[in-house]
Amino acid sequence: MTTTIHRVLMIGGDARYREVVQSFAKADFQVIAVGWEKFAFSLHNVTHDRLANIDFSTIDSIILPVSGVNDQGVVELSPYADTELVLTEEMLSKTKETCIIYTGVANAYLKQMVMNSSRSLVTLFDRDDVAILNSIPTAEGTLHIAMEHTDETIHDSHVLVLGFGRVGMSVARLFAAVGAHVTVCVRQSKDRARLKEMGMRGIYFDEIYEVIDQFQIVINTVPYLVLDDKLIEKMGSDSLIIDLASSPGGTDFTTAHNKGIKAIHALGIPGKVAPKTAGKIIADVLIDLMGNYIK
């Protein structure tokens, strides 16, 4: 009986993807690592190559870093690469017709490329299992950032969290657990009720302006401009903003800088504070999705 080998092209990736490659190798996938010139995998079924050398007609799956590509097709979060990695529609079109592209998040540029090449796209962070599990190291890393950039304890501090989604919920819960007075901006009355049950305060977004000056720490999880110039102008100059939203974030960073407010756009936290755990989360989901190809 002939065994079909599933060929996976791993283009770029941060420390999390070292764990992904290790897991894929153990599951007997054939992995081609591109953009890993500064890190060598010593595994019999993992090979290193350059993007220009890839025979895309043999590729069953392509795995991109969590942040995917930018609006020019440049693969982001590739600290182990020694040259810029650019994914093109032509490359995708040369893959097997059944090829699936996996990424953490996808912008309009990547979606259009995949659609034009008639391939399939899976955005991992749209999945509840990945996003919820990934919110744990994100919350821990956010707490670490807050502790590093404030000169008072988090305990008894006043913290505002913008958004009560999968990340916002974990962040709010962790800060409350260490003794912060946590207020969360929500859109729905059910979320406000849930926060009350959890021992936290909920407010609506149209109430932010009236209370923003009460908080030492503001944490944004909303992926569009929320902390605009009017809100930032009302904040104290010793406030700290931690923006967890994907690029370009939800903060007017220019206004914050001009006012002397420390505003940190904290991207890729899991890959920095807990890459092994975060990588295992991604690997488990990917292997489950490709389960039919495991020997």
User: Last residue of some domain: 126, 149, 168?
Assistant: 126
Does the residue 294 lie in any domain? no
Does the residue 289 lie in any domain? no
Does the residue 168 lie in any domain? yes
pLDDT at 290: 87
Domain with residue 210: its CATH number is: 3.40.50.720
Does the residue 1 lie in any domain? no
Q: What is the pTM of this model?
A: 0.84
Same structural domain, 145 and 102: no
Residue 228 in tokens: 């605009």
Same structural domain, 77 and 19: yes
Question: What DSSP element (H or E) covers 166?
Answer: helix 166-177
Same structural domain, 122 and 154: no
Does the residue 54 lie in any domain? yes
Range of the domain at 83: 7-126
Does the residue 249 lie in any domain? yes
Same structural domain, 95 and 219: no
Same structural domain, 157 and 38: no
pLDDT at 3: 56
Does the residue 214 lie in any domain? yes
Express each pLDDT in 264-288 by its tens digit.
999 889 989 999 999 999 999 999 9
pLDDT at 294: 43
User: Mean pLDDT of residues grouped by 10 in the chain (295 residues)?
Assistant: 76 94 92 96 93 96 94 91 96 96 94 97 93 94 97 97 96 98 97 96 96 97 95 95 93 96 94 93 93 51
In angstroms, the first-to-last Cα distance of the chain is 12
User: Last residue of some domain: 126, 141, 167?
Assistant: 126
Domain count, the chain: 2
Q: By the 8 A CB rule, do 63 and 75 touch?
A: no
Same structural domain, 155 and 252: yes
Same structural domain, 25 and 150: no
Task: Give the integer Cα–Cα distance in Å for 216 and 209.
Answer: 15
Same structural domain, 20 and 112: yes
Same structural domain, 41 and 116: yes
Pairing mode of beta strands 158-162, 7-11? unpaired
Burial class from Cβ neighbours inside 10 Å (0-12, 13-18, 19+) for residue 98 reads exposed
Q: What are phi and psi of 176, to 5 degrees?
A: -65, -35
Express each pLDDT in 83-106 by its tens digit.
999 999 999 999 999 999 999 999
pLDDT at 293: 44
User: Last residue of some domain: 126, 144, 163?
Assistant: 126
Does the residue 193 lie in any domain? yes
Same structural domain, 78 and 185: no
Same structural domain, 63 and 157: no
Burial 201-218 (b: 16+ CB within 10 A, else e): ebbeeeebeeebeebbbb
Alpha carbons within 13 angstroms on the beta-carbon side of residue 232 total 24
Same structural domain, 122 and 135: no
Residue whose C-alpha is closest to residue 38's, from 78, 84, 86 = 78
